[in-house]
């Protein structure tokens, strides 16, 4: 059964300035209104509205059987969502923090990812697993991680991430509408950033879900980023412009499947690529992007693809995270190294 | 209660229902159960009014407890609470990134912690500041976790107090394995046997790791005391969201004893934990203790309990305060005078000052710390990454 279209006839343009968190909340609400099979489940998502308040007010308005405060077990959340999806629901699971997804890893890799192929397409698993991810919030262990590469590595899963409020509003609805299971990574440090508020036009035509997007055009070098690193890349581009360097910034948005056509186009023009991500670099999405770009753009490259990543260490205590996280200076340093090759 | 048809095909709503904010009948009943006295099965030696009640089964486990010992337990609880409140204040003042309050669970932790011997091993969750205290770990050793300088600075081998575990329930399996090791090494079988205690909450009981820990410990007769502090709330979810029956009764399904103790009664908790450890030392296999208590503060300093629970509930539990009942008992039956209470208060204040000064003077961690000890053996790849970053960082002349 096809999911209902999320675009209602645009009778009137309705634009509101929203934070990323509020945009997600509105996107979830809109999806729940459009399709009674959409249910939200997770720890503290009901009365509390989630520890980040992304599901605020949903239980009050849709009831306890569409917004489930689940027992405290991630494997249980994911595993029962599979059953609900098989039964015809569209579960949206909330994992409270990135580092808590691993009890559910078995269900994600063994069932969520493989059911469709196992049944030769007879069983669909249209579920969304929302994961607040990334660092920069001064938290204790397991609350600041970037585990997206594990999931991008797993066949059968779609993996996406939003970097701004407009994408947050649309992408969560598109992910819910997708007939494939989607890991939906949310840059938690920007949930409530007032200076990242954006005008969300709920009557607009959304950008496709599984497509990366050029956010800023440039000629000196290409910077690819996703999720929380997009703002870092954009800030770096602004700073570089003051030095006369023109950086092209691409927001990947979709991590699996990767949409690298805009990256290839860009690198063929700039000859240089810097990939920015908070995740450790070894065997990561950054590695995959570097490999594909050298394969597709070999004769255009003026320098090796450089990666600006978190280090290959456990995410450090909060007082050290500013050194762990890619920042504007490390991106600019990579640009300089690329130019100096 | 709505029928399945109602909730699988809900009627479209125009907007928020006017009465939606009011708790349902189920929620009200759940709340009443959560704030009950713990049921007739609750082991209690000190009433909330501070009166000693006889218990033919458990009295003998505290028959040797002297007035001095009771004063010691009182002092432990007051100092641990003071350290907890000070750390909470330090978070409010921006000195800590977050704090996990223990308020209300002092008796559960001091009773359990003081039942342990130095040769026993403890696997904590992240709210076990009272257990840490009993293992000889100064509260300042906890601060690095919450200030963000390290993941706890105590020596977990020397203190036999494992690092705090933040992922819910993971430590239960680790504890089962450790206890299996104690048994495999022949350290159980008589009064001098070793045992392990693992600490977790009511929320954790839903995790697969906890179930698996129950299974492993039981089939290997591991000397493990599962100490579940049922503080009634897993962030915003009441215990009824995790279980339909009292948690201690789950033990029966795994084939070992389970017991519910008044977790706000330090004497009863001491007695019951001694009994359980005794069973473990002699090789009888695991025991589950459910310490029935209450989280009097927020889940952490980032949490706002007013969103999900009524203040009446907290007020009801204040009448069962773990420290107050022992104070009354000491006054009425053990001749404790004001000098004693003043001296404990002075010790508590001194501890708070020491904690505060320590916190203010904690050094920033060196950058290389995050690259250290990732592996036990050499890692040339990581060494190169560290050297490259330190060299890059030095290029800023220390201004970055």
Does one domain contain both B295 and B399? no
User: B263 and B122, same structural domain?
Assistant: yes
Query: Which chain B residues in 28-67 lie under 8 Å from chain A, judged by CB atoms?
Result: none
Range of the domain at B194: 26-360
Give me the residues of chain A with pLDDT under 50, please.
1, 10
Is residue B219 situated within a structural domain? Answer: yes
Q: Count up the domains in chain B and report the number.
A: 2
Which of B301, B151, B397, B391 lies closest to A320, judged by CA? B151
**Over 50: is that where the pLDDT of B15 sits?**
no
State the pLDDT at residue B326: 98
Contacts of A330 (CB under 8 A, 6+ apart): A308, B392
Residue B138 included in any domain: yes
Distance (Å, whole) CA B130 – CA B122:
12
Please report which confidence band the pLDDT of residue B35 belongs to, taking 50, 70 and 90 as the band edges. very low
Measured between beta carbons, the chain B residues lying within 8 angstroms of A71 are 206, 237, 241-242
Mean pLDDT of all residues in B281-291: 97
Q: How far apart are CA B54 and CA B26, in angstroms?
A: 36
Nearest to A111 by CA among A134, A80, A139: A80
Give the Cα separation of B364 and A319 in Å (integer): 7
Percentage of chain B beyond pLDDT 70 is 90
Please tell me the distance from the alpha carbon of residue B139 to that of residue B191, in angstroms, as a whole number: 31
Within a domain: B1: no
Q: Name the residue among A47, A62, A140 with its Cβ closest to that of B308.
A: A47
Strand partners, A90: A38
Task: Report, as an integer, the average pLDDT of B372-392.
Answer: 96
| Residues B388 and B241 placed together within one structural domain of the fold | no
> Which residues face A297 on adjacent strands?
none
The model's confidence at residue B5, banded by pLDDT at 50, 70 and 90, is very low
Check residue A321 and give its pLDDT: 98
Please check the confidence at residue B381 and state whether its pLDDT lies above 80. Answer: yes
* φ and ψ at residue B172, rounded to 5 degrees: -65, -40
B335 found inside a domain? yes
The per-residue pLDDT for B10 is: 36
Q: What is the CATH number of domain A15-201?
A: 3.40.50.970
Based on the domain organization, do B346 and B398 belong to the same domain?
no
Residues for chain B: how many in total?
400
Residue B318, φ and ψ in degrees, nearest 5: -60, -30
Domain spans of chain A, in order of start: 15-201, 213-339
Out of A60, A69, A141, name the one closest to residue B20 (CB).
A60
Q: Look at residue B94 and tell me if it is in a domain.
A: yes
A-B contacts at Cβ under 8 angstroms: 147
The DSSP symbol for A4 reads: P
Considering the domain architecture, whether residues B205 and B233 belong to the same structural domain is answered as yes
Domain A213-339 CATH (choose: 3.40.50.920, 1.20.1440.230, 2.60.40.10, 3.40.50.720):
3.40.50.920
Q: Give B112-152 pLDDT, tens digit per residue.
A: 999 999 999 999 999 999 999 999 999 999 999 999 999 99
Of B16, B148, B204, the CB nearest to A72: B204
Q: Give residue B397's pLDDT.
A: 81
Chain A contacts in chain B segment 100-129 (CB below 8 A):
126
What is the rounded CA–CA span in Å between residue B121 and residue B386? Answer: 35
Nearest Cα neighbor of B261 from B41, B59, B38, B43 is B43
Residue A137, pLDDT score: 96
Predicted confidence at residue B353, as pLDDT, reads 98
Q: What angle do CA A108, A109, A114 make, to 5 degrees?
A: 100
Segment B358-376 shows an average pLDDT of 97
What is the secondary structure of A170-219 as a DSSP string? HHHHHHHH-SS-EEEEEEGGGTT-GGG-EEEETTSPPPPTT--EEEE--S
Determine the pLDDT at residue B38: 77
Is pLDDT of B30 > 60? no
Q: Is residue B8 assigned to a domain?
A: no
| pLDDT tens digits, one per residue of B36-64 | 567 888 999 999 999 999 999 999 999 99
Task: Indicate the burial class of B134 (C-beta count within 10 angstroms; 0-12, 13-18, 19 or more).
Answer: buried
Q: Each residue of B149-178: pLDDT tens digit?
A: 999 999 999 999 999 999 999 999 999 999
Within 10 angstroms of residue B126's Cβ, the number of other Cβ atoms is 22
Rg (CA), chain A: 20
B239, B195: one domain: yes
- Tens digits of per-residue pLDDT, A106-142? 999 999 999 999 999 999 999 999 999 999 999 999 9
Task: Tell whether B345 and B397 lie within a shared domain.
Answer: no
Stretch (H or E) spanning A267: helix A261-270
């Amino acid at each position: 059964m096809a999911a209902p279209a999320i675009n209602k006839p645009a009778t009137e343009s309705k634009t509101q300035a929203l934070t990323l968190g509020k945009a997600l909340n509105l996107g979830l609400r809109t999806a729940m209104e459009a399709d009674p099979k959409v249910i939200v489940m997770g720890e503290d998502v009901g009365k509390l509205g989630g520890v980040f308040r992304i599901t605020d007010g949903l239980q009050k308005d849709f009831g306890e059987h569409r917004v489930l405060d689940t027992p405290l077990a991630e494997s249980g959340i994911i595993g029962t969502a599979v059953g609900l999806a098989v039964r015809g629901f569209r579960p949206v699971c909330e994992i409270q923090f990135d580092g808590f997804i691993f009890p559910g890893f078995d269900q994600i890799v063994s069932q969520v990812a493989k059911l469709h192929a196992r049944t030769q397409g007879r069983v669909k698993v249209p579920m969304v697993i929302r994961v607040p991810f990334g660092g920069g919030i001064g938290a204790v262990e397991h609350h600041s991680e970037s585990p997206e590469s594990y999931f991008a590595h797993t066949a059968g899963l779609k993996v996406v991430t939003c970097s701004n409020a407009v994408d947050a509003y649309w992408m969560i609805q598109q992910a819910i509408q997708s007939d494939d299971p989607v890991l939906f990574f949310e840059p938690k440090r920007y949930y409530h950033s007032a200076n990242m508020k954006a005008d969300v036009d709920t009557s607009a035509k959304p950008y496709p879900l599984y497509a990366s997007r050029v956010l800023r055009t440039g000629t000196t070098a290409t910077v690819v980023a996703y999720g929380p690193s997009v703002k870092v890349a954009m800030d770096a581009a602004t700073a570089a412009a003051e030095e006369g360097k023109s950086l092209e910034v691409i927001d990947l948005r979709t991590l699996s499947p990767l949409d690298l056509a805009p990256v290839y186009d860009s690198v063929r023009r700039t000859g240089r690529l810097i990939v920015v991500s908070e995740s450790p670099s070894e065997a990561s999405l950054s590695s995959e992007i570097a490999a594909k770009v050298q394969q597709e753009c070999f004769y255009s490259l003026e320098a090796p693809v450089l990666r600006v990543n978190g280090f290959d260490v456990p995410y450090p205590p909060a007082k050290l995270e500013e050194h762990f996280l890619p920042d504007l200076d490390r991106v600019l340093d990579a640009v300089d190294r690329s130019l100096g090759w | 209660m709505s029928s399945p048809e109602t909730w699988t095909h809900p009627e479209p709503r125009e907007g928020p229902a006017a009465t939606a904010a009011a708790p349902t009948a189920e929620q009200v009943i759940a709340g009443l159960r959560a704030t009950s006295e713990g049921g007739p099965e609750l082991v209690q030696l000190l009433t909330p009014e501070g009166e000693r009640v006889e218990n033919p089964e458990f009295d003998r486990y505290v028959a040797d407890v002297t007035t001095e010992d009771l004063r010691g337990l009182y002092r432990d609880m007051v100092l641990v609470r003071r350290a907890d409140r000070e750390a909470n204040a330090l978070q409010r003042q921006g000195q800590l990134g977050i704090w996990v309050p223990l308020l209300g669970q002092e008796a559960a932790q001091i009773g359990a912690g003081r039942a342990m011997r130095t040769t026993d091993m403890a696997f904590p969750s992240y709210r076990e500041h009272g257990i840490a205290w009993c293992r000889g770990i100064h509260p300042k050793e906890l601060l690095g976790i919450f200030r963000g300088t390290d993941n706890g600075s105590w020596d977990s081998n020397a203190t036999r107090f494992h690092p705090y575990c933040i992922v819910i329930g993971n430590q239960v399996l680790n504890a089962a394995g450790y206890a299996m090791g104690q048994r495999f090494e022949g350290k159980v079988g008589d009064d001098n046997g070793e045992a392990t205690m693992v600490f977790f909450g009511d929320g954790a009981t839903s995790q697969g790791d906890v179930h698996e820990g129950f299974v492993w410990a039981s089939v290997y007769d591991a000397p493990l005391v599962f100490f579940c502090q049922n503080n009634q709330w897993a962030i915003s979810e009441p215990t009824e969201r995790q279980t339909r029956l009292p948690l201690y009764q789950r033990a029966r399904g795994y084939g070992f004893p389970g017991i519910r103790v008044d977790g706000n009664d330090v004497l009863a908790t001491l007695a019951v934990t001694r009994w359980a450890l005794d069973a473990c030392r002699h090789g009888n296999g695991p025991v589950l203790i459910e310490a029935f208590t209450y989280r009097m503060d927020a889940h952490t300093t980032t949490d706002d309990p007013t969103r999900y629970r009524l203040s009446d509930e907290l007020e009801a539990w204040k009448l069962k305060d773990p420290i107050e009942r022992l104070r009354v008992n000491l006054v009425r039956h053990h001749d404790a005078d004001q000098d004693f209470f003043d001296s404990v208060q002075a010790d508590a204040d001194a501890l708070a000052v020491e904690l505060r000064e320590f916190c203010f003077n904690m050094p920033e961690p060196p950058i290389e710390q995050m690259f250290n000890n990732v592996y036990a053996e050499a890692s040339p790849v990581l060494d190169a990454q560290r050297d490259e970053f330190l060299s890059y960082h030095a290029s800023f002349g220390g201004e970055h």
